[in-house]
Each structure stands twice: as structure tokens, then as C-alpha cells.
Chains A and B, each alone.
Chain A
Amino acid sequence: MNFDDTPQEAAFRETARKWVAANAPKEFEQELSKSSLGRIRLAHHDIVDVGKAWQKKKFEGNWACLHWPKEYGGRGATPIERVIWQQEEGVYGKLTQPFQIGEGMCGPTVMAFGSEDAKRRHLPKLASGEEIWCQLFSEPSAGSDVAGLRTRAEKKGDNWVVNGQKIWTSGAHYSDYGLLIARTDPNVPKHKGLTMFFLDMKSPGVEVRPIKQANGMQEFNEVYFTDVVISDSQRLGAVGEGWSVSLTTLMNERMSIGSRLATGVPEMFEFCSNLMLEDGLAIDDPAVRSKLASWAVKSSGLKYTSYRAISALSKGDRPGPENSIGKLVSGMMLQDIATYAMDLQGAAGVLTGADEETVQGQFQQMLLSSPSMRIAGGTDEILRNIIAERVLGLPGDIRVDKDVPYNKIPTKGR
């Protein structure tokens, strides 16, 4: 048992480290190392512009989408090399946020189901950051039950005509392409009538509107489709096979290992170490210590769980299912930590101004943003179902709509 690289891994790390040291945009290092929670912002620059510049540099240095095959813009790297790269890229990895959906989900789907032409046309530009992709899956009436989606695609000659609405689309306003799942046959059960496409986000009839979220920010979009025409050559997989294509996309999302999720623990530890209560420092209070310790061991537990997965990759094995616990644990923890940090501030905990003496509204912002951590990318409940069914082998839920044609499924509770 050790944390050492193999000689090959060490050599790869050295190459990566040297390249990052020589090429990274160091002027943003400090700012990037500070913002650990939620989406990244830069004070005086657009994250998309800075991200594109970094992505382009990486692409030219052969460090973009490095687990992809070389002919599509990648490096043909092994999974463990990808993890090592992420470690060495460090805080600059945050600049890749606008490209993560493309690299992690859209690209792999195009790679698995696209024509050779489509792959050669789109993947290198995705890898170089020249074109940004978004994912158009969720709908107002189809979140956890995404197979219940309503957006229609109807065949007209060699084209498809799309009408409907998507929601929670990150980056739709700056994306060039989108991966779209739509209903092509409402007369069959819901999973069977779906088809996957990709489309140009500048197509006539596509309208992107920002959503004002519960935390007051605008980070996601709604996307409306009105008679949007898509060529049949932009279909991914067979007609009616959209659900199984989407599983490839989602599986790739869950394969990303080593991306460390924010837990709030370091911030909370520092906060309690400095906060003076009536009887002394918060960290000297037994109740505070007990809570801090419980959170600290969850955070270290997640860290070493990912180390176990990395070790499996290093040996060339597939990581076990342990990694599925990450978001479930960290999402709840963020919310609990934020609530408790405010509790410790007493009545002043309600204040959210950046000039407040305690922590400039850091935990208040965490409190308001944390509900999304427990919903986005699989709700806590869906994640528990996944662990129960795929890891523990418990039966799937009874699906009352399983064999019912989509257009016969009730759409209102009362």
C-alpha cells in the first residue's frame, strides 16, 4: 500500500507538470484557487474567453480531451493518465468548466454513435474549445424521469422538425452545438419512442432564455424549439433508440473520477478556528468539535474513496461502484455545513453582504446554492436508487407506466 506513482506514471506526471508550469495562465492562479464552491467567476474576465484560450493552448500542446483517440483531437491517454493530468492541471482545470459537458458527455456520444464524417468534423473542434457543446435532456416535466420528456421530433422528408422545451441547460447561451433527445413516437411506451440528435444552436427556431434561480443567480437556461429543422444525418443511433444512446452519455458522466467535489469542510474548519463566541473560539466548543469531526471524516472518506478508484485505474482495473457516493455525501454536507455556520453567527447570520465582518456571506451563499447540489446530475433519491439497485442488487422500482403508450400516461396528479 502506497501513494507512489509507477515509473511510467511518474514520467507522465513530470511531462505534464513541466508543460503546465510553462503554459498555464498564472495571472489567474490566485483567483482560481479561491473560488471552490459553485460556478467559477473571474472578476475582470469572462470565464468562457479565458477558458477558450486555455483549451486552445492545451489542444495545441496535445493535452485536451486527452483520453480521446488522437484522430479526434485527443492524446489516446489511459484513464490513470487522465487522472494524473487533472491533478497536475490543478486550479486551471476550473477553466475547463464550459467544456466539461462537451468533453464528458456530448463528445463520447458522438464518438460512439456519430458517422465518421460527423466525428472528424466536430470532435477536434470540441477538443480545441473552438466549439462548445451543451446537453439538452431535462424538461420542465421530465427531470428524474427524463424518459418522460415531451419535446417532439417529427420526420418530414429527410429532415426532422422539432418543437418543445428543455430546461437546466448549462451554457446554452454560449454553446455552438447541442445534444438533443426528443420524442419521435408517442404511441409506444416512453423509453421506446425516443431518438438522439445533435444540432446547431444557431438554427432558426432555437431560443435560449436564462433562468433566474432560487439563489438569485442565472447560470442555466431554458431552450425553446419552434419548428427547428434538423437533418437526418444529425441523428445519433437508430430511431427509437434514444434511451440507450442517452445511457452511454450518462455513463460517461459518472466515469469521471478524481474530480474533487466541494464539501465545505476546509472553509468550515477555518471559520470555526477564527470565530470568537462568548466563551471562546468556536473550535473549542464541544458541540462544534463533534460536528466538525463528523464532517471531516466524511470529507476524508470521500478523498480516500477516490484514491481507491484511482488505484484501480492505475492497475488497469475498472473502479468499483464506491465512487457513486461522492455527490450524495458532499451535497448534503454542504447544506448542513452552511446551515450550521450561520447558526454560529447568531442573528447576524441572516446578513449576506460582502462587507460583513465574518466571512463575507460565504456560507449564506453556500446555503442558497446547496439545494442544487442535491438535485443536479441526479437527485439524492435517484442516487440512492442507483446504489440500491446497481451496487446492492435490490429490485428496481415498480414502473406503472412501463408498458403504457406514452400518450396514455397521465400528466397531472390532480
Chain B
Amino acid sequence: MNFDFSDDQKQLRDQARKFLTEKCSPKAVRVVLDGKAPYDKELWKGLAEMGFLGVAIPEDFGGAGAGHLELCVIAEEMGRANAPVPFSSTVYLAAEALLIAGSDAQKKKWLPAIASGEAIGTLALFEGKGNPSPKNVKLTAANGVLNGVKKPVADGAIADFAVVAARTGSSGRDGDVSLFLVDLKAGGAEVKSLTNLDPTRGQAEITFRDCKAEPLGATGEGWSILTQVLDRAAVLCAFEQVGGSDRALEMGRDYALDRIAFGRQIGSFQAVKHMLADMYVSATLARSNSYYGAWALSTNAGELPEAAAAARISATQAFQHCAKNNIQVHGGMGFTWEFDCHMYYRRANAMALGLGSLTYWEDQLIDRMRKKNAA
């Protein structure tokens, strides 16, 4: 059994960590947090130069042609660094949708631009409240144009193109949904920035008015493609969450060792030790579930739907748990803007919703486990 990343993949992780430690310090993250820039352009350029943006994109389309395991280790480091760039929208959602359903021409147009850092992409799925469901897709597509409003769209305000879920039928079934590719700079799409929990990753509202769009995949196949995209993104986001959990745990541990109260290190009090031990437990469970997700993703195994949901739930819970208790370990200092704890708290809770809520994924997991048990 070799249920671990290879030495090369671990080396890539070290390389990513070194790069991000240099280029993505908390100080750099704060430029975006404080609203001085919509995202870290320099970092984005650097990620492209390192080959990280196109790591899972085939060489024919301008990528490094490595694979999803390589992308997983980079994702972990992105989460650990709380990187303020549209990495998940562009790489896990837009690029994966193109890889699954794009025509050769569509892939040629957008994938090399993603890998080189020239194009930012996103997925426009949600329309206000609610979780991923064909029923919640109201935006219409007819005669090659889209009409409707999407929100929240992650990184929508800085995206060059979007994969848009649209209604093309009224049968009440999954086949009513189709996907479209929209060049957001070509007119017809009006973008408005929205304030949100985690300012290091923007959210937007996009209004489509007779906006020109080309189909991505066959008509009526939208929901089935989306399900695959969301499963892949669930695994990749889980690695970001695992990276974030580990960092939050480390911050808490380090503070517990440094801070003196009642004449001793606060990390010598069992109340604090046990809180940190529980954070370690959550983070470990999340890591192991995510490894299984990575295996399923990289081998395109039939187990992917169940593995992705398990990784998503476990990593969401772990990151929320670690980020929350990291503040608690820090006490009053953890509640200041100056300390970095709240950046992870914000990111953890924003990520918990991005691909659909925890409840949604719990529901998905049970459905998928039942399907497997019935088979």
C-alpha cells in the first residue's frame, strides 16, 4: 500500500510552501484584506511562472501536464498561506469544467490563458439563497444569449470569463440545465462587487442582459457536468481547508507556548491542551479523508462522488473548528484586526459555503453512500 504522495509530489509541496512563504506573507494578504487591491496580481503572475496555475492542465493546452495529485499539494499550500488570488475559481472550477466538457477550440482559447495567468475564470452557479440544485437555476438561455442574475459569483469582479449554469428546459429534471461559456469582457454582462465575509476573495453579482454565450458541453448535460466539476472542486478545496486547518492549529500551538498567564505557559493548562488536541484530531481526520479524495480524483475512480463528499465535510468541519479555536486560544488578542487569526476564521467560514453548505454535502454523502450500499 502506498497511500501517500510521492517524493516528487512532496518536493513540489515544499517548493510551493517556500514560494508562498516568500511571496504571500500575512502582510501581503492584508493588502487585499484592507481593500487596497482586488487580488494579489504579483502573486498571480508568480504562480503562473512557477507553473502552478496549469499544473493539472495538459501540455497540449499550455499546462505542465502533471496531474491532480500535484494540484492537491499546491492547493494545500494555497490554503495554508490564505492566498488572496482567484485560484479556486479559475483552476478548480473554470479549468476543470473546460477539461471535462470543453470543445477543442474552447480549451485552446482558455486553458493556455489560465496557465499563463492571463485569464481569470469562474463558475456562475448560484442565484441568491440556496444550494446547488437544478431547481435553483433560473437564468435562461435562448438563441445564444443569457438573461438573468447570478450571485454570489466568487471572484466575479476580476474574472475574464465565466462558466454559467442556465435553464434550457422546463421538464423539472436535471436535463433542464445547460452550461455556457461567457467572455465577461465582451459586453452584455454587468458586474457588481459585493461585500462579503472574506475580503481576501471577492464575491460579485453578475447581471446578464442578452449576453452572448456559447454552449459548454451538450444541451441538457449541464447538471451532470456540474456535478463532476463540484466533486473535483470539493476535493481540491478540501486540500486548501486542510492547509488552513494546519496553519490555524500551528498558530494556536505557538501562541500557547509563548503566552504566559498565571505564571506559566498557557499551553500547560489542560483546558488549552485539550482544545489543541481536539483541533489536531479534526485536522488529521480531514487530511486522511482528503487523501482518499485525492486518490479517487487522480484515478477518476467510481468512488469519487462519495470520497469527494466525505473530504468536503471533514475538511470543512476541521477548518471551521481549528480557525474558531485558534482565536479562543489567543484570547482577546485573537479578536484584534492586527492578529492574523480572523483571516483564517473568515476564510474557513467562507469556504464552508462556496460549493454549497455543509448541510448540502452531508445530504449528498448520505445519498451517495446509499447508492453504493444498494449497488
Q: CB within 8 Å of B: which residues of A?
A: 1-5, 9, 269, 273, 283, 286, 289-290, 292-294, 296-298, 300-305, 307-308, 310-312, 314-315, 322, 325, 328-329, 381, 383-385, 387-389, 391-398
Contact = CB atoms under 8 A, between A and B. Distances in A.
A395 B317 CA distance: 27
A380 to B, nearest CB: 9
Contacts of B370: 273, 283
Most chain B CB atoms below 10 A, which of A269, A292, A384: A384
A381 B373 CA distance: 36
A381 B273 CA distance: 10
15 contacts: A1-B295, A292-B366, A296-B365, A301-B285, A304-B291, A305-B284, A305-B285, A329-B281, A329-B285, A388-B273, A392-B277, A394-B267, A394-B268, A397-B268, A398-B268
B4 interface: yes
B4 A298 contact: no
Nearest to A290: B362
Contacts of A308: 3-4, 288, 291
Contacts of B273: 384-385, 388-389, 392, 394
B5 interface: yes
Contacts of A311: 1-4
Contacts of B286: 301
A228 B280 CA distance: 46
B288 A387 contact: no
Contacts of A273: 370, 373
Contacts of B313: 293-294, 297
Given A294-B313, A296-B310, A311-B2, A301 B288 contact: yes
Interface string B307-327: 001100110010000000000
Given A273-B370, A283-B366, A387-B280, A297 B285 contact: yes
Contacts of A9: 1
Contact of B288 (A290, A307, A328): A307
B369 A325 contact: no
A395 B292 contact: no
Given A296-B369, A301-B314, A381 B270 contact: yes
B333 interface: no
B3 A394 contact: no
- Which 4 A-B residue pairings sit nearest by Cβ, starting from the closest? A301-B285, A293-B362, A388-B273, A304-B288
B160 interface: no
Interface in B330-375: 359, 361-363, 365-366, 369-370, 373
Contacts of B278: 384
Contact of A384 (B274, B284, B292): B274
Nearest to B309: A293
B219 interface: no
Contact of B1 (A296, A314, A381, A398): A314
A328 B3 contact: no
A310 B1 CA distance: 7
Contacts of B4: 1, 308, 311-312, 315
A391 B280 contact: yes
A2 B291 CA distance: 11
Nearest to A395: B268
B69 interface: yes
Contacts of A298: 285, 314
A307 to B, nearest CB: 4
Q: Which of the four size classes fits the interface of chain B?
A: 35 or more
Contacts of B5: 1
A300 B362 contact: no
Most chain A CB atoms below 10 A, which of B5, B6, B264, B362: B362
Given A329-B285, A388-B274, 5 more contacts: A1-B294, A301-B310, A308-B288, A325-B284, A397-B268
Given A1-B294, A310-B1, A310-B3, A392 B365 contact: no
Chain A residues touching B, majority SS: helix
Contacts of A290: 359, 362-363
Nearest to A303: B288
Contact of B362 (A2, A289, A301, A394): A289
B310 to A, nearest CB: 5
A121 B310 CA distance: 51
Contact of A395 (B267, B365, B366, B369): B267
Contacts of A2: 1-3, 295
A281 B281 CA distance: 32
A377 B335 CA distance: 39
A5 B1 CA distance: 5
Contacts of A305: 284-285, 288
A182 to B, nearest CB: 29
A271 to B, nearest CB: 13
Given A296-B369, A314-B1, A314-B2, A325 B280 contact: yes
B298 interface: yes
B2 A315 contact: yes
B245 to A, nearest CB: 13
A192 to B, nearest CB: 23
B281 A328 contact: yes
Contacts of A289: 362-363, 366
B256 interface: yes
B238 to A, nearest CB: 11
A301 B1 contact: no
Contacts of B285: 297-298, 301-302, 305, 325, 329
Nearest to B359: A290
A53 to B, nearest CB: 32
A214 B253 CA distance: 38
Contacts of A329: 281, 285
Given A293-B365, A297-B289, A315-B2, A388 B295 contact: no
A325 B276 CA distance: 13
A130 B359 CA distance: 54
Nearest to A328: B281
Most chain A CB atoms below 10 A, which of B3, B264, B362: B3
Nearest to B290: A304
B265 interface: yes
Contact of A300 (B3, B6, B292): B292
Contacts of B272: 394
B366 A294 contact: no
A388 B273 CA distance: 6
B2 A1 contact: yes
A16 B201 CA distance: 54
B257 interface: yes
Nearest to A9: B1
Most chain A CB atoms below 10 A, which of B6, B265, B291: B291
A326 B310 CA distance: 18
Contacts of B277: 383-385, 387-388, 391-392
Contact of B257 (A4, A296, A394): A394
Contact of B314 (A4, A297, A389, A392): A297
A289 B309 CA distance: 13
A311 B284 CA distance: 16
B246 to A, nearest CB: 12
